[in-house]
Amino acid sequence: MRDHTLRRLVLIILAAIGIAGPRGAGLAAAEGSWSRGAAMPTARSEIGVTELGGRVYAAGGIALFRTTAAFEVYDPEADAWRALAPLPEARHHLAIAALGGRIYAAGGFANLSFTPDRKTGWVYDPDRDQWRPIADMPQPRAAHKLVALDGRLYAVGGVGPDPLALWAYDPAGNRWETALEPMPTAREHLAAAALGGKLYAVAGRWGRQNLRAVEAYDPAANRWSRLADLPQPRGGHTAATLAGRIHVTGGEDLGTGGTFAEHWAYDPARNTWREEAPMPGARHGLDSAGAGARWYVVGGATGAGMATFLTLDDAVAVYAPD
């Protein structure tokens, strides 16, 4: 409770002097609407979010000047959060995904030195509220994504010894496959999603430079292809699949110190992006998941870069397409 009160006080002070608060608000809305869900109990940024059984799970992240192992679940029907068994180790910039009735988490940073030295991962059993180890990733990696596709989990992007490498985890054999075509564009703090049997890597950044590049991986052909760029360079954003499109929002610009609320949707049939209703409140370091006919965007920070530590957000923004 004291952490929560202190965070609110810091936000008020920063907003008053112009450091915190929404920047780079979106343009006119095309369609759809946003509402607010119950606030996340543990305000945090650089988290991992996934959906399982119609519920939204949030793992790890940066809390108030510390790394957290918090693992919490949101029930959209009850509009309520509940704490679950924490991660075996506190992590931020980790990646999580759901597959086969389980939730998988891997990689990330273990402390605030941002050293990419974690390749361990775990699987969560929701029936037992219990985590157990899985095979290590081939190398340490952080600020990456895990995407479930055709019975496997693909680890894409991030920082580590070989950031271009694409790995696929086979839960049945508890092993990682490494003989996959590397991603063409190095990127971390990217967004990723699965749609139509393909893995999509959306923008991200390399160094301090945000990118627009969008690339799709076809597992059947073991081949990457370049698609229409995201209309704006973006890093620290989030993406999820909803109603046959990939929706993208949030992010930060380390150069300007701004954060984003713009919201774009990708139509794979036309290979085009369209601007949608902007997210209410710009933030980065957030993550999201589609559940039913809604898109749930969770957590993050309203300030970019080092301001992250003082502008943590507990917001849950819910998007409903028209």
For the chain, domains (ranges, CATH) are 31-320 (2.120.10.80)
For 74-97, the pLDDT digits (tens) are 999 999 999 999 999 999 999 999
For 195-252, the pLDDT digits (tens) are 999 999 999 999 999 999 999 999 999 999 999 999 999 999 999 999 999 999 999 9
Q: Residue 58: which of 4, 94, 34, 33 has the closest Cα?
A: 94
**Is residue 4 scored above 80 in pLDDT?**
no
pLDDT (0 to 100) of residue 30: 53
For 128-150, the pLDDT digits (tens) are 999 999 999 999 999 999 999 99
Average pLDDT score, the chain: 92
Q: What whole-number distance in Å separates Cα of residue 186 and Cα of residue 204?
A: 9
**Is residue 20 scored above 80 in pLDDT?**
no
Q: What whole-number distance in Å separates Cα of residue 231 and Cα of residue 143?
A: 22
Query: Are residues 218 and 205 in contact, defined by beta-carbon separation less than 8 angstroms?
Result: no
**Is residue 11 scored above 90 in pLDDT?**
no
The stretch 285-312 carries a mean pLDDT of: 97
Burial readout 38-74 (b: 16 or more C-beta within 10 A, e: otherwise):
eebbbbbbbbbbbbbeebbbbbbbbbbeebbbbbbbb
Q: Is 101 left (phi over 0), alpha (psi -120 to 50) or beta?
A: left
Write out the two tokens for 39: 């606030």
pLDDT (0 to 100) of residue 275: 97
**Is residue 3 scored above 60 in pLDDT?**
no
Instruction: Indicate the helix (H) or strand (E) that contains 66.
Output: strand 66-67
Confidence of residue 26 (pLDDT cuts 50, 70, 90): very low
**Is residue 103 scored above 90 in pLDDT?**
yes
pTM, two decimals, is 0.91
CA pseudo-torsion sign 202, 203, 207, 208? negative
